[in-house]
Amino acid sequence: MNRPDGPLDVVTIGETMVMFAPVEPVPLAQAPRLAMYAGGAESNVATYLAELGHHVRWAGRLGDDPFGGLILRALEDAGVDTRAVVRVPGGRTGVYVKDTHAGSTAVYYYRDRSAARGLTPDVLGDPLLDGARILHLSGITAAISDSSRAMVLAGVRERPDPSRLVSFDVNYRPGLWPAETAAPLLAEVADRSDLVFVGLDEARVLWGCRTPADVRAVLPNPGTVVVKDGEVGAYALGSGGEVFVPSPRVRVVEPVGAGDAFAAGYLAAVLDGDAEEARLRFGHLLAAAALSVTSDHGSLPARAWLRRHLEISADDWARLDLSDGW
């Protein structure tokens, strides 16, 4: 896929790893075959946005090993701009493996010595990031090392480009750090951002929130806080009040990656100038794609199909059933 020309729409910064997943949705110990993909919260967002025709640049650090080459190839094939990527001589690229069980997924990480742990605040000053309309970060990057945490904090505290919208996905991973450590830092980063994505389940673990209004009380300063509540739906709480859009019905093969897809759909609609309800719908549609596959990334229908479903009536949306695909 050719990389879009013209102004830079989105910059994402974070770790991308090689991901192994069973080809069939079965437990890892029973899987006869594994497939290999590129996977990482921020690059997942970048991939979807690039496939939708936006100019998006992913900045990160990869080892100079074959896994790093695989990731670069996969992102470039999807249309992601990788000119801000650093290949670290002698560095290693992280690996993770999905273990799919009935109704849930366990993830095993092998990233202790990954090149991405060397991310520092200096990356924010790279001229290749200049001019982007949106900077997208996630709580995963804040958890992998002290220096990457400093980078995320600098991104919201220092604001090298004050005109740029800062988008933050809380993306709390209990396997990376305990809630008592993560909660205050993630609350600070989220509250200093312009746009926040957070699951109601993770907000409950981190901050004891029971409702979207509780989340908004913890995060009063962002322009918009998007609260996702699984199969129930998603809420956007902004200056215009609360907007709710229910989730369409979908057959869940594997849930990891759906949050990244939702964020990408929402950001695509922001870039397109859509209203809040359409932004939430776009998020739901891309999340449905991710939920239907064992990898982090699902195939998208034609952009015209997606745009058409942003405009159907509320009643038609409530009846939307994607259980059998697009």
Among residues 169, 260, 274, 296, the one annotated as catalytic is 260
Domain boundaries, the chain: 10-318
Q: What's the topology of domain 10-318? A: UDP-N-acetylmuramoyl-L-alanine:D-glutamate ligase (3.40.1190)
Q: Can you list the positions of beta strands (E) in the chain? A: 10-13, 17-22, 34-39, 56-59, 61-63, 86-88, 95-101, 104-110, 134-138, 165-169, 195-199, 224-229, 233-238, 241-246
Residue type, 282: F
| 43, burial (CB in 10 Å: exposed 0-12, middle 13-18, buried 19+) | buried
d(CA 133, CA 37): 28
Q: What's residue 251's pLDDT?
A: 87
List the structure tokens of 270: 């922001």
Q: What is the mean pLDDT of each run of 10 residues along the chain (326 residues)?
A: 75 95 84 90 96 96 96 95 96 90 77 93 94 97 96 93 94 94 98 98 98 98 97 94 95 80 97 97 94 75 92 95 87
Nearest Cα neighbor of 312 from 245, 259, 249, 231 is 245
Backbone angle region of 14, left / alpha / beta, with phi > 0 → left and psi within -120 to 50 → alpha: left
Name residue 110's beta-bridge partners: 95
d(CA 262, CA 167): 13
Give pTM, 2 decimals. Answer: 0.93
Residue 320 in 3-state DSSP? coil
260 is catalytic: yes
d(CA 266, CA 270): 6
